[in-house]
Structure formats: C-alpha cells, structure tokens
Amino acid sequence: MSKIPRRLSLITETALVLRQRIQDGDWRLHLPGELELSAQLQVGRNTIRSALKILEQEGLVVTRNGQRREIADRPASARGTRRAVLLMAKPANEYPPSTSEWIREAQNRLEVQGWDFRTLVEPDLYRGNPVSALRSLTGGSPDTIWILHRSTQAMQRWFQESRFPAVLAGSRHEGIALPQVEIDLRAVSRHAAGAFLARGHQRLALLRPDAPFAGDSECVAAFREAATRAEVVELRCKGGPAGVVSALRQHLRVRDRATALYILHPDHCVTAIGFLMSAGLSVPGDLSVICRDDEPYLALLHPEPTRYRHSPRTFGSKLAALVLRSAAHLGTGERALVVPRLVAGATLAAAPPVPKRNR
C-alpha cells in the first residue's frame, strides 16, 4: 500500500512519510523530483519543498548544485537497525507476573534478530488527548515500530491515522485495524457463560473494572451473547480491593442475587472469594466463580478458582513475529490469537435450588 500523508500538520506529516520511505529503502541514491513526489504523495509542490527542507536540516537529504536531492549516506551501524518500543502506562512489575514473562520472550526473540528493544513508561499518553505527546515522542524515530500495551482508543486512532508502524499487544478498539496479538477473550467468555448455563445457573453476574479496556468490553458482549437465556448483571468496581468489596456488597443486598460470578481479573478474583467467604457464603455452594485470566498465585487459593490459562511465552513469540512481519509491511491489519485452556478448579458447581417463597 502506498504511503500518503494524513492531516496532522501536512508539512510535518509529509516529512514523516518521506523519512519513513527513505528508511524503508524505497529510494536508494536520489529522491524523485518535486513534481513526481507531489504526485506520489498527493500534496502540493510547496508542501513537498517545505518537507524536504526538514529532511535536509536532519541530514537525511543533501542538495548539490541545484541537482536532484541525494539521500545522505548513514553509518553502517545505523543502516538496517530497527527498534521496537513498548509503550506502557506503568512499569511491567506493577502488572501481573505474566506480563513480564511475555515481554522477556518478545525482547529475546527480537534481539536475536538484531533489533533494539526498549520499554517506555508514559502514563500521560493514557490520559485525555495524547496527540501532542505522541507527535513529539515519535517524530525523531523513523526506524521504530511501536508496541501499544492496553492502549486507549485515542492512542490507537492516532497511530492508525498517522501511519506510524504500530502493533497492539492486546485488543483493538472499535474502528481500529492495527495489527494485533491478543488472547481469545471472546471465546473464553462465551465458554464461561456456557459452563454456568450447563449447570443450571440462570442469574449471572460479571465483575469488571470500571475502566475503558477494549478487551473487557469485548468480554462483556461475548458473555451476554452466550447467556441470552439467563439474567446477566454487570458489576463495575473502582480501584483495588475496596472497589471489589463495595461492588459485591451492594449486589448481595439484592433479593434475587446471582448464583454464578464471572470475574475478569485475577487480583479481583482473590479479593472476591475472600470477601464472599467472610460474608458467610459458600464458594461454590452458594455462588459459583469462574475467573477469565490466570496467574500462578491463583493455584494457592482454597478453593482453587476455575479459570483459563494461556502461555505468556506464546503471546511474546507471536508478538515478536508480528513486529517482524510489520517491519516488512506484511502484518497490516493482521490478528494473531492466543487460545487459553480451561483449568478446572473447585469453584464451579450446579446452581443451588431456588428457595420456595411464602405466598
């Protein structure tokens, strides 16, 4: 697909496209003339001329004696060097242990191929409008492929529109077609709903964080689609353990409370099981529980949660492979899925009998 600049700042964006095409080797010794570049990139000649001045100032392009502009030689160490930068909202050690595992796997596989792999913690990108910050961050990195972890819709849309090479480590938001590696959360959520229904549960609850994660929204939709024959209530929790306890305590006041609880995040699952048992409820006697994700510490709980486990190393290897394909312009819009498997714990049972009410 030809690279055509999008509307951020037209001159700046044209310079970005020219820079990327030079780095990709579209032109070897000389650039085409201004008229030809204007036709290829579908912008005016004055815009081309101004963009080329930017590249001349950067030393990427040289004009000699009024002749065609030459592509400046770069040191051999710089030619062909590619960099992958993983953008995160917080340090990897503040995420579940599996996150650090897939990051190491991706890093090892890319470095074997001669890539420079870096992690960049930029919490401000995940708040509000990130356009100015992203423009500043990416402007001087033509050889970089950006890996977006748990990214917001605004971040994904900016990378898609600016056409900077980017790969999603996680789910896409609506309207986004960036290449991605993700866990098949929809299949997991449909399976969890089916497992509850097969055991006679008709009142289901889903516990999720009150945050705009694309993957969580997909799970809610898939769970509801698979549980059309049941009543589904969505419990949103803010913050950490206190938010989980507050959401569950409020639901327990409901007369016809759920008999089955689908929990998306492992840390929420730990808090939920502890709170439910402290409230005098039996898990799974009074309330069956399935957790969408797995972490090693869940195996230490009693009762051990029923959950879905995927391989972080598989996730990391698929991510590295997609970065390499995207660098060769082969990964555009690609979607690589990691399929988890069920870990049959001890928190899933038949629905309790419905009590008879006095009439």
- Strands across the sheet containing 180-183: 116-121, 83-88, 144-149, 166-169, 180-183, 335-338
Which positions of the chain have pLDDT values less than 50?
Answer: 1-8, 75-79, 358-359
- Report phi then psi at 158, rounded to 5: -65, -45
Total residue count of the chain as it appears in this document: 359
Q: Which of the 8 DSSP states describes residue 296?
A: G
pLDDT of residue 359: 42
Placement of tokens 């590249």 in the chain = 55
- Could you tell me which of 161, 123, 167, 165 has the C-alpha nearest to residue 141? 165
Q: Are residues 91 and 129 in the same domain?
A: yes
| Cβ 221 vs Cβ 179: under 8 Å | no
| Residue 45 domain flag | yes
Q: Are residues 195 and 255 in the same domain?
A: yes
pLDDT of residue 357: 53
Q: Are residues 282 and 192 in the same domain?
A: yes
| Residue 350 domain flag | no
pLDDT of residue 19: 79
Residues β-bridged to residue 336: 181
Q: Which of the 8 DSSP states describes residue 94?
A: G
| Residue 192 domain flag | yes
Q: Are residues 147 and 239 in the same domain?
A: no
Looking at the structure of the chain, the number of domains it has is 3
- Report phi then psi at 357, rounded to 5: -100, 145
| Residue 170 domain flag | yes
| Cβ 209 vs Cβ 268: under 8 Å | yes
pLDDT of residue 66: 61
Q: Are residues 200 and 296 in the same domain?
A: yes
Range of the domain at 152: 83-183+313-341
Q: What are the distances in angstroms from CA 180 to CA 144, 174, 199, 298, 306?
A: 17, 13, 35, 28, 27
Question: How many Å apart are CA 101 and CA 103, to the nearest integer?
Answer: 5
- Report phi then psi at 197, rounded to 5: -65, -40
Q: Are residues 90 and 105 in the same domain?
A: yes
Count CB-CB contacts under 10 A for residue 123.
9
Q: What is the CATH number of the domain that holds 153?
A: 3.40.50.2300
Q: Are residues 58 and 120 in the same domain?
A: no
Tell me the three state secondary structure of residue 169.
strand
Q: Which residues contact 248 (CB under 8 A, 6 or more apart)?
A: 207, 235, 272, 275, 276
Q: Which of the 8 DSSP states describes residue 285?
A: T
Q: Are residues 156 and 200 in the same domain?
A: no
| Residue 2 domain flag | no
Which amino acid appears at position 102 of this protein?
Answer: W
Q: What is the CATH number of the domain that holds 36?
A: 1.10.10.10
Q: Are residues 293 and 236 in the same domain?
A: yes
Q: Are residues 178 and 133 in the same domain?
A: yes
pLDDT of residue 75: 42
Q: Are residues 207 and 102 in the same domain?
A: no
pTM for the full model?
A: 0.72
Question: How many Å apart are CA 6 and CA 29, to the nearest integer?
Answer: 26
pLDDT of residue 203: 97
Q: What are the distances in angstroms from CA 267 to CA 159, 190, 209, 294?
A: 31, 21, 11, 10
| Cβ 310 vs Cβ 339: under 8 Å | yes
| Residue 249 domain flag | yes
| Cβ 193 vs Cβ 223: under 8 Å | yes
pLDDT of residue 293: 95
| Residue 359 domain flag | no
Q: Which of the 8 DSSP states describes residue 187?
A: H
Q: Are residues 320 and 286 in the same domain?
A: no
| Residue 78 domain flag | no
Placement of tokens 């909202």 in the chain = 89
Q: Which residues contact 46 (CB under 8 A, 6 or more apart)?
A: none
DSSP string, 29-50: SBPPPHHHHHHHHTS-HHHHHH
| Cβ 3 vs Cβ 163: under 8 Å | yes
